[in-house]
Amino acid sequence: MENDVLLTMRGICKSFPNVRALNNVDFTLRKGMIHALMGENGAGKSTLIKVLTGVYTMDEGEIRIDGEEGAISIRSPQEARSHGISTVYQEVTLCPNLTVAENMFIGRSERKTVDWKGTEKRAGELLESLGIPARPRQQLGSCSLAVQQMVAIARAVDTDCKVLILDEPTSSLDDNEVAMLFRLMRDLKSRGVGIIFVTHLLEQVYEVSDQITVLRNGELVGEYEVKDLPQVELVEKMIGKDLDDLSKLKGSVPAGGTGKEILYEAEGLSSSESRPFDFHIAKGEVNGFTGLLGSGRSESVRAIFGADTVTGGKVKVEGKEVKITKPLDAMKNGIGYLAEDRKRDGIIADLSVRENIILALQVIRGIMHPISRSQAEAFADEYIKALDIKTSSPETPVGLLSGGNQQKVILARWLLTHPKYLILDEPTRGIDVGTKTEIQRLVLKLAEEGMSITFISSEIEEMLRTCSRLIVMRDRNIVGELTGDDLTQERVMRTIAKGGGKDE
Amino acid sequence: MNKKKLFAFNSQLLIPVIAIVILVIFNLFRDPSFFSVSIASNNNGDPVLQGNLISILNGASELVILAMGMTLVTAACGGQDISVGALSAIAGSVFVKVLKSGGSISPGLVIGGFLCCCIVAMIFGAFNGTLVSVFGIQPMIATLILFTCGRSIAYWINGGATPTVTSPVITAIGGFIPGIPVPTPILIVILAACLFALLFRFTTLGLYIQSVGINQAASRLNGIHNVGIKLLSFIILGACCAVSGVIGVSRLGLINHETLLLNIEMDAILAVAIGGNSLGGGRFNMIGSVIGAYAIQMLTITLYAMKVPSTDVKAYKAVVIILLVVIGSPVVKEAAGRFWKKISEKGTAGTGKEAA
C-alpha cells in the first residue's frame, strides 16, 4: 500500500495577515486514486491547492513526491509542473481563439520554431486515446465547455503528469457533460494518474471518488474511504461544531413570528439565477436559507431583492401585490440586502465611511434631495457609535477598515434606511469571532423590535441560534423546512444529505 | 483633525498646485514684469485689463470648461471622451448657422443660437454616452467615432463655408462687455463653475458618479442607475462642449470647422490627470482639474513669452508634462509618502522628548 503513495504533504502551515489559512494539514495521494478534497468556504481547500501548485509558498511543512529523493520545494507554477503536478481550474484558462492543437502545445515547445504538422498529429493521437470528441484543427471556442475542460485536462496530462488537480471542474457543466468528464477521469485513473478532485457537490464525490479528505477552518478533519463514510457524516464533518464563545447566545432563539402578520410573501418567484420557489416571512421573524455552498441559497435571496433579473412570480409586501424587479423597488418597499461578497457587492472602497453609510438612504430619497453634510455626519457618528465601528474618522475610506468593520458599515447603511425586512447573506463570513457575536446579537435585537430578518450563514450553529425557521436547499431546490424541535444540526444535515432523494 | 484635512488637501491637489507654483517662481526669476496687470482702453475706449495673467485666465476658458465636464465622464466611466474638440466644432457650427438664419444678430437670436447648439451637443453627448453605458464600449473607442467624423458633420452644417459673424453681441461674448474690464470668457468660466457647484450642492450627482466609478456592482445593489449616471455625465460634457464652442466662435467672429479647438481633447484629459484624478475613474476633484487646466495654459503662455517659436512649443510642453506625470505617478508618490512619514516620525519623536 505504501508503495502506491504518489504525493505526501505533512504539517503544512500557511498564514495570511490576521488569518491562519492552513494549520498543520496532512494530505496523501495514492497512485490511480481519485481523491476528493472537501470543506466549506474558508476551510482551506484552495489555499492547500495553491501551496501545492506554487501559487503560495508554505510557511512550514514538507512535500514529498514519488520518485524524488527528499522533500521538494515548489515556488512557482512552473516548478510544480516540472514535478509532474498539473492543475485544471474551474474557469477554462485556455485561448478560445486558437485551435485545439495549438492550445494543447502552446508555450511548451523547447525550440523557437513549432512543428505544426507534428503537433497536430500528436494532439490527434492524444485526443483519440483519451476519447475526447474534438479535432486538433477545430477552434477551441467552438467546442462545448466540457470539451474545452477536457482539452485542458489533456494538455495537463500530456506533460508527464503524475498528479492532476481538478479545481471545481464541473461547476459549469450539465449532467451529460459531467458524465463525459467522469469517464475521462476514470480512464486517467486506470493509467495510474492521481487525481485531486475539488468540488462542492456531494453526489459527484460519491459517484467518482475513492477517498475523501475533509478540511475545516484550515485544519485537517480526517481522511476517509468513500465507502466508509455516509453522506450525513460527511456533511457533519464539513460543517462541524464551532467551539467559540457564541454558546452564550444559545437558548435565546425567539419564539418566531409564525401566526403573526405576514410581511413578505413570494409565490413562484424565479430569477435568471434561481429556480421558482415559494417563500414568506412574518413580522419580527428570523428565518434562514441553509444548504451547502452552491445550493442556491444566495440566488434565492438575490431574487427577493431583485438583484438578478427577475423572471417570474408574484410578490406581496404587507398584503399588497408589488413589483420588485430591481434593487430600488425592493428598497422602496422597505427591504434591505447585505450581499454575500462584501468586496464586490458591498463596499464602495474609495468612498469614506460616512458616504458608505448614507448611500442607501440617499438613493431612496432621490437624486434631488441630498442629505446635508451636517445631517450625514450626524448619521455617520450615530451609527459608528451604535455599532462600535472602529475607524480613525468618518472620512476614512472604507476600504482601509478591517473586514468586520467594513461589514458593520454596510449593516449601518441598511439600518439607516429603517427597513421592515433585512436580508443578511453571510454577514459573519471572514470576520473575527467578536464581531460575529455582535452581529448575531444585533439580529436578535432587531427582530425583537419587529424587523423581519433572513439570515444566511455557512456556519450552521449560527443559524440554529438565530433562526426560528430554516429553509433547507440542495442543488438549487428547496428540499425541506425545519421549525421548532426539528431545529437541530442533525436534522439539518439529514435533510441536506437526503434531499436529493436518490441516495437511499 | 485640522492637520488631517490639510493632508487630504495636499494629496489631492499637490501636483497641480506644485505645477502652478513652479511656473510662478520660474517666471518671477525670469521676468517679474510677467505678472504685471494694467488697465488699457480698447478700440471703443472702454477700460480693459491687460497682461499675461489675464491672457492665461482668458485663454484657458474653453479648456477649463471642457476639463470640468471631462472630469465627470472620467470619474463615472473610467475612460475619456476624445471627441470634445470635434463636438465643440459641431456646436460652434450650429451656433453660427442659427445666427446666419436671421437678418440682424440680436441678443435674443444669440440666446436662441446658444440653446440650439446646446441641445445638439447634448444629443451627441447622449449618443456617446449610450455607446458607453448601454453597449459597454470603452469610452475612448466609442468617442473615436465622433472624433473621426465630427468635423465633417461641422463642415456639412454650414455647407463647407467658414462664415463670419460680426455683431457687437458676439464681440462682447468673445472679448469684453462694454464697461466691464474683465474678459467675458473668464466670467463665463466663473458662471459655469458656479453652476457645477450648485449641481453638487443641490443634487447627489457627485456621490453617485463616484460610487458608479468605484464599484458598479455595489452601486447597482444600492439602487443606483449605473447606465443613467454614465449617460448623464456624457450629456453634461456635451453641454460643456457647446459653451466652449460658442466662446471659440465668438473670439474669432467666425467658424472654422477644421481648426476650432483642434486637439483640445488631449489637453482636457491632461488637465484631469494633472488635477490628481485617476483616469481609471472613481473619486474625483474638479478643482484639481481646473487648476490643471490653468497650469497647462500658463505653461503655454510662459513659453510664448520666452519667445519660443510656436512650432517648438509642443516639444517644450511635452518635457514639462513628462516631469509632472512622473511626479504624480504612484511610484514617486509612495516614495515621497515614505520620506514624509520618516520626517514626521522624527518630528513627533523630537516633540515627545521635549514634552518629557
Q: Three-state SS across B64-114? A: HHHHHHHHHHHHHHCCCCCCHHHHHHHHHHHHHHHHHHCCCCCHHHHHHHH
A398 and A470 within one domain: no
Closest C-alpha to A390, from A327, A432, A430, A332: A432
Q: Are residues B245 and B312 in the same domain?
A: no
Interface of A with B in 393-422 (CB under 8 A): 393, 395, 413
Give the residue from B7, B221, B232, B233 with the most A CB atoms within 10 Å of its CB, the best one to mutate.
Answer: B221
Nearest by CB: B215 against A326, A348, A393: A348
Domain of A135? Answer: 2-239
> Is the same domain home to B302 and B312?
no
Give the distance between the most distant pair of CA atoms in chain A. Answer: 76
Distance CA B70, CA B286 (A): 9
Residue A42 has what pLDDT? 67
Q: How far is B296 from chain A (nearest CA, A)?
A: 28
At B67 the pLDDT is 97
B351 touches chain A (CB under 8 A): no
pLDDT, mean over chain B:
89
Residues A264 and A372 in one domain: no
Residue from the list B201, B211, B221 with its beta carbon closest to the beta carbon of A339: B221
CATH number, residue A232: 3.40.50.300
Q: Do B203 and A367 touch (CB under 8 A)?
A: yes
For A327, the closest of B208, B210, B222 (CB atoms) is: B222
| B151 and B269, same domain (yes or no) | yes
Which residues on chain A are in Cβ contact (under 8 Å) with B221? Answer: 305, 307, 327, 337, 339, 345-346
* A157/A235 same-domain check: yes
Collect all residues of chain B within an 8 Å Cβ-Cβ radius of residue A360.
222-223
Locate A313 and state its grid cell: 412570480
pLDDT confidence of residue A500: 54
Q: Indicate whether B158 pLDDT > 80.
A: yes
Domain-located, residue A440: no
Give me the pLDDT at residue A88, please. 86
Higher pLDDT residue, A328 or B6? A328
pLDDT at A245: 42
Strand order in the sheet with A34-38: A85-88, A163-167, A194-198, A34-38, A211-216, A219-225
Q: Domain range holding B204? A: 2-306
Look at residues A239, A256, A290 and tell me which one is the last residue of a structural domain.
Answer: A239
Per-residue pLDDT, averaged over B218-243, amounts to: 96
Question: How many C-beta atoms lie closer than 10 Å to residue A47's C-beta?
Answer: 23
* Cell 468612498 sits on residue: A351
In a domain, A316, yes or no: yes
- Domain end, chosen from A223, A239, A255, is at A239
Instruction: Confirm if A441 and A450 have CB atoms less than 8 A apart.
Output: no
Beta-strand runs (E) in A34-162: 34-38, 60-65, 85-88
Nearest to A130 by CA among A164, A96, A167: A164
Same domain, B173 and B53: yes
B119 and B218 housed in the same domain:
yes
The predicted model gives B343-347 an average pLDDT of: 72
Per the structure, the count of domains in chain A is 3
pLDDT tens sequence across B283-334: 999 999 999 999 999 999 999 888 999 889 889 888 888 887 787 777 887 7
Flag whether pLDDT at B345 surpasses 90: no
User: Cβ contacts (< 8 Å) between A337 and chain B: which residues?
Assistant: 221
Distance between B37 CA and the closest CA of chain A, angstroms: 40
Residues B282 and B316 occupy one common structural domain: no
- Count of structural domains within chain B: 2
- B3 touching A (Cβ < 8 Å): no
Cβ–Cβ gap A344/B205 under 8 Å: no
pTM of the predicted protein model: 0.75
Q: Please, are residues A313 and A268 in contact by the beta-carbon 8 Å criterion?
A: yes
Q: Are residues B227 and B194 in the same domain?
A: yes
Q: What angle do CA B212, A342, B8 make, to 5 degrees?
A: 55
Q: Which residues of A touch B4 (CB under 8 A)?
A: 393, 395
A231 and A250 part of one domain:
no
Q: Over the stretch A97-156, which tens digit does the pLDDT of each residue have?
A: 888 888 888 776 666 677 778 888 888 888 888 888 888 888 888 888 778 888 888 888
Q: Could you tell me the three cell numbers for B355?
A: 514634552
How far does B266 lie from chain A, in Å, by closest CA? 27
Cα–Cα–Cα angle for B250, B255, B258, rounded to 5 degrees: 130
A326/B contact by beta carbon, under 8 A: yes
Q: What is the pLDDT along chain A (504 residues), one digit of tens a residue?
A: 446 889 999 999 988 776 678 989 999 999 999 999 988 766 788 889 989 988 888 888 999 988 787 888 888 888 888 888 888 876 667 888 888 888 888 776 666 677 778 888 888 888 888 888 888 888 888 888 778 888 888 888 876 788 999 988 876 677 778 888 898 899 889 988 999 998 877 778 888 999 999 998 888 999 999 988 888 788 778 776 543 444 445 444 444 444 578 999 999 999 998 899 999 999 999 999 998 777 889 999 999 999 999 999 999 999 999 999 999 999 999 999 999 888 889 999 999 999 999 999 999 999 999 999 999 999 999 999 999 898 889 999 998 887 788 999 999 999 999 999 999 998 987 676 667 778 888 999 999 899 999 999 877 878 888 899 999 998 888 999 998 888 888 888 888 887 654 433
Please tell me whether residues B201 and B166 are part of one structural domain.
Answer: yes
Size of the A and B interface in Cβ pairs below 8 Å:
74
* B114 and B140 inside one domain: yes
Please, which pLDDT band fits residue B56 given cuts at 50, 70 and 90?
very high
CB contact under 8 A, B223 and A348: no
* A335: β partners: A421
ipTM (interface pTM): 0.86
> Is there a single domain that holds both residue A235 and residue A247?
no
Question: What grid cell was written down for B296?
Answer: 497647462
Q: Is the pLDDT of residue B335 over 80?
A: yes
By CB neighbour count within 10 A (0-12 exposed, 13-18 middle, 19+ buried), where does A244 fall? middle
